[in-house]
Amino acid sequence: MDILVANSTILIGMAVVFGLFMAWGIGANDVANAMGTSVGSGALTFKQAVIIAAIFECAGAVLAGGEVTKTIRKGIVDVSSLGSTPELLVYGMLASLLAAGIWLLVATRMGWPVSTTHSIVGAIVGFGAVGIGMEAVQWGKVGTIALSWVTSPLMAGAIGFALFRSIQKLIIDTEDPLEKAKKYVPYYIFLVGFIMAMVTLLKGLKHVGVKLPFDQNMIYAALIGVIFAVIGTFMIKRLKFSKKEDKKFHYTNMEKIFGVLMIFTAIAMAFAHGSNDVANAIGPVAAVVGIVSSAGEIASKSATPVWILLLGGGGIVFGLATYGHKVIATVGSGISELTPSRGFAATLAAATTVVVASGTGLPISTTHTLVGAVIGVGLARGIGALNMGVIQTIFLSWIITLPAGAILSILFFFFFKGAFS
């Protein structure tokens, strides 16, 4: 106890610095996935992606990231087993932040899209099992999380495959793809608005304490979808088409329409991601600040101060702007060549998977889901459209993420424990 009181300023300072570092890593790696499909398909420039992310990641974090995710904070390590040594949780959370942040830095340098969710989960499991005791880790929960790594990319891949097949049938493989695109794309925009609204209503708003019945959510989401479609139709009407451009690449004009669609999916993806993944950086910071400022009381629930949410949102945007280009290159063009219509199918498939998963309460990873979706869309064009080398590297980096986070966090945990006692 007295350790916490004596070092309170240092501990909170460290939490803020490590939290910023972790948020920076999330921006450079995770948000880069979310934006990779839009930038890779040419629908947005890198600069536009950074601006969209800045606005909507922060909006998602502050509006919908409010109550710290229970899973990160107290679902993985059983807090009650700490008893009279709350400082162990403080050291552990600091160690986890630093470990996950360093692993993200390494992965981003290599251009691997790894999962921040898994880095932080691995880190927390690591210090919990070794630093506190095997029985302190809630292994059932960890098992469920592990299972979702297999299911989320598979599901997103299947949806991406189906969506792109529908685009091929309705639009691409027809006599006049441009006219068909004008006709059908508003429906796809409606779908984006609807699914995004559902993500927010199901996953986001429960943090703010708003819980609406499912049927009401459906009605609100449909309304938002209609609004999206109307705005989108208006934007499509303002596009300039020229028959000449279609000579080089038969679908140039059609892809312009999908470019409009991609702007909507990018916004949606950023918001959903902000509401969900900011917790990875902020959960541990909030835990440390909470324990230290209450002199060792471990509160099971306490609202996250807005300054901590802003810290996370700001760090994320800074990471994307300064270092995000490497992972964007892998997701946007390395796995399979993306055009706006393909990028759209992949992003929407990933977003849909996130909605379904949040309905079941599974902590899945945006990264795995998106990569799975990009692979699914590539498969719809035939296996030759995939770059198997890149895919192998990505899968390998996923397998290493957990032990990497765990080992680093165990080392830091014992270092902090020694340094402060």
Mean pLDDT of 335-348: 79
Do the Cβ atoms of 93 and 282 come closer than 8 Å? no
- For the chain, the domains span 1-420
Neighbours of 106 (CB within 10 A): 15
pLDDT-above-90 percentage for the chain: 8
| Residue 64 binned pLDDT confidence (cut-offs 50, 70, 90) | low
Look up residue 369 and give its amino acid: T
| Residue 68 binned pLDDT confidence (cut-offs 50, 70, 90) | very low
What pTM value is reported for the model?
Answer: 0.76
User: For residue 72, is pLDDT > 70?
Assistant: no
Mean pLDDT of 78-100: 81
Mean pLDDT of 105-123: 82
| Residue 3 binned pLDDT confidence (cut-offs 50, 70, 90) | confident
What is the spatial distance between Cα 178 and Cα 256, in angstroms, rounded to a whole number? 9
Q: Is 101 helix (H, G, I), strand (E, B) or coil?
A: helix
- Comparing C-alpha atoms, which of 99, 179, 92 is closest to residue 128? 92
- Comparing C-alpha atoms, which of 342, 346, 362, 344 is closest to residue 354? 362
Measure CA of the first residue to CA of the last residue in the chain; give whole Å.
11
Mean pLDDT of 66-78: 58
Mean pLDDT of 5-23: 87
- Comparing C-alpha atoms, which of 325, 340, 328 is closest to residue 263? 340
Query: Given this model, what pLDDT does residue 410 score?
Result: 92
**In this structure, what token pair is assigned to residue 207?**
């943090």
Instruction: Show Cβ contacts of residue 259 under 8 Å, excluding neighbours closer than 6 positions.
Output: 42, 43, 340
User: For residue 158, is pLDDT > 90?
Assistant: yes
More confident residue, 247 or 119: 119
What is the spatial distance between Cα 154 and Cα 384, in angstroms, rounded to a whole number? 19
Instruction: Show Cβ contacts of residue 234 under 8 Å, excluding neighbours closer than 6 positions.
Output: none
Q: Is 137 helix (H, G, I), strand (E, B) or coil?
A: strand
pLDDT-above-70 percentage for the chain: 83
Do the Cβ atoms of 327 and 111 come closer than 8 Å? yes
Neighbours of 416 (CB within 10 A): 23
Mean pLDDT of 31-39: 74
User: To which residue do tokens 């006709």 refer?
Assistant: 183
Strands annotated E in 144-254 = none
